[in-house]
Amino acid sequence: MKKISLIICFVLVFMAVRAQKVKNEDLIYDENIHTVLFHKMGDQLLPPVIRLGTNDRLSLSFDDMSDDSYLFRYTIIHCDYQCNTTTSLEPNEYIDGFLEGQIENYAFSVNAIPPYIHYRLTFPNPDMNVKLSGNYILKVYLDEPTDENVIFTRRFFVIEPLSRVDVRIPYYPKNLEFTRKKQQIDLTITLPILFNDEPIERTNVVIQQNGRWDNAKIGVKATSVSSNTLGFDYQNGIVFNGGNQFRHFDMSSFWYQSMYIKQIINEADGYRVILHTSYPRESKPYETEPDLNGHRVIQARKGQNSSTEGEYAWVDFWLKMPKIQNAAVYILGQLNDWQLDGNSLMIYDTKLRAYHGALYLKQGYYDYIYAVLPDGKSRANVTPIEGDHWETDNDYTIYLYYRQRVPEYDRLVGYRKLNTKELERP
């Protein structure tokens, strides 16, 4: 009886841990799932954003390393501007159609080691659409949407483009200590007349740099309103670290070693790719080098179908530098869903005086950067390793939410995604 009790306790604890880690974020919960792509139809580099009431579509794909195919199911969850589940809405108030769908489009890999099964879904579709704007979570699971059955979650955004968002990055920030380093976001938003009811109290702004959420500005409030225009006049401005251009490597083929790849090893159970050793750039001058601002493009060599013929490899990252005390170092980018987790954590090798990390990646082109996370913090900083430059080419996305009264939920009524090259930078 004592053994049975211990087993029951273990199972309950395990289920509780699984339940706790399912969040409204871009997370994978099943170790067999890899390369989850979720973007606007037609281009891997487009964010998962669609306009309400249009024919915009999102493309979802992923690989499952399991031996057998499964009937995966999905549903969507409406969220507030902080990506917390909207408790004031029932699913049938924001879902048009069935409340649950099935992912029936799949294909087995061809000549890939290890083998995998590639799944695809287009959303919205005739079975399920959205009624309301706002933040959403796509939840994919087996059997039923309980936390222990969820295999991954993904954010997406449905917009009502009712507001105008104007942005500039001044050369001289309000705090002159930030000159030539930080990027100050000067923001002006014009609201339609229908949002005259408590415009400051009922609006929230979220500003995202590249694909990161750990350093996003969430719940930015206007400081003034005049003639339907929201102003954001903060004492030190709205400031992001400029950072640096992303590092990158091309792993679209295992037949040759492209720049930044030191060695490709063909092992019995698959490939291993060793990158050239990296070094800190914090004391080096800024250099313009094209990048994808942290994103990736899954692409195999010519003549291959990337979806089912693309192969996987363990990729080794080495960063030669003294150990940073009271902090952890992570590989950061879309290659690990921008997560600061155990998969992207780098371990310090005291003999080689270098950090080492490894990620399991599919053939393609990848951007990445090294980030430092101080102990006890949740916001990483790339500056100690990569440097901090005003000139850095960054993407910024501005989301404007308006809290509707009845029914009460956050409408996504303003959206703008732009690159610093497009901004007014005197």
Residue 322 has pLDDT above 60, yes or no: yes
Please tell me the predicted confidence (pLDDT) of residue 193.
80
- Domain assignment present for 119: yes
Q: Burial letters for 329-356: b for 16+ Cβ neighbours within 10 Å, e otherwise?
A: bbbbbbbbbbbbeebbebebeeeeebbe
pLDDT level of residue 424 (50, 70, 90 thresholds): low
- Domain assignment present for 337: yes
| Contact in structure between 121 and 57 (CB atoms under 8 Å) | no
- Domain assignment present for 313: yes
Euclidean distance between CA atoms 48 and 11, whole angstroms:
36
Residue 374's CB: how many other CB atoms inside 10 A? 15
Mean pLDDT of the region 399-410: 96
Euclidean distance between CA atoms 392 and 181, whole angstroms:
9
| Contact in structure between 400 and 133 (CB atoms under 8 Å) | no
Residues 210 and 254 reside in one and the same domain: no
**Torsional sign, CA 116, 117, 123, 129:** negative
Residue 9 has pLDDT above 60, yes or no: no
Residues 176 and 238 reside in one and the same domain: yes
Euclidean distance between CA atoms 331 and 371, whole angstroms:
6
Number of domains the chain is built from: 3
Residue 6 has pLDDT above 50, yes or no: no
| The token pair that represents 4 in the structure block | 């049975």
One-character DSSP codes across 30-90 = -TTEEEEEEEETT-TTS-SEEETTS---EEEEEEE--SS---EEEEEEEE-TTS-B-TTS-
Residues 261 and 351 reside in one and the same domain: yes
pLDDT one-digit tens code per residue, 330-354: 999 999 999 999 999 999 999 999 9
Q: Going by C-beta distance under 8 Å and a sequence separation of 6 or more, which residues neighbour residue 398? A: 165, 167, 187, 205, 206, 207, 414, 415, 416, 417
Q: Burial letters for 107-123: b for 16+ Cβ neighbours within 10 Å, e otherwise?
A: eebeebeeebbbbebeb
- Domain assignment present for 10: no
Residues 294 and 380 reside in one and the same domain: yes
Residues 252 and 274 reside in one and the same domain: yes
**Torsional sign, CA 343, 380, 43, 134:** positive
Q: Going by C-beta distance under 8 Å and a sequence separation of 6 or more, which residues neighbour residue 87? A: none
Residue 10 has pLDDT above 50, yes or no: no
Domain stops at, among 159, 174, 192: 159
Residues 411 and 331 reside in one and the same domain: no
Percentage of residues of the chain with pLDDT beyond 90: 85
- Domain assignment present for 1: no
* Helix, coil or strand: residue 235: coil
Residues 154 and 42 reside in one and the same domain: yes
Residues 40 and 91 reside in one and the same domain: yes
Q: Going by C-beta distance under 8 Å and a sequence separation of 6 or more, which residues neighbour residue 268? A: none
- Domain assignment present for 226: yes
Mean pLDDT of the region 25-31: 97
Where residue 123 sits, what CATH number does that domain have? 2.60.40
Q: Going by C-beta distance under 8 Å and a sequence separation of 6 or more, which residues neighbour residue 20? A: none
Residues 232 and 141 reside in one and the same domain: no
Cis peptide before 407 (omega within 30 of 0): yes
Q: What is the mean pLDDT of the chain?
A: 92
Range of the domain at 204: 164-242+391-422
pLDDT level of residue 22 (50, 70, 90 thresholds): confident
| Contact in structure between 191 and 230 (CB atoms under 8 Å) | yes
pLDDT one-digit tens code per residue, 114-168: 999 999 999 999 999 999 999 999 999 999 999 999 999 999 999 999 999 999 9
- Domain assignment present for 396: yes
Please tell me the predicted confidence (pLDDT) of residue 5.
42
Residues 138 and 198 reside in one and the same domain: no
pLDDT one-digit tens code per residue, 253-309: 998 899 999 999 998 889 999 999 999 999 999 998 899 999 999 999 887 899 999
Domain stops at, among 113, 143, 159: 159
Residues 377 and 334 reside in one and the same domain: yes
pLDDT level of residue 206 (50, 70, 90 thresholds): very high
Longest alpha-carbon distance in the chain: 75
**The whole model's pTM is what?**
0.92
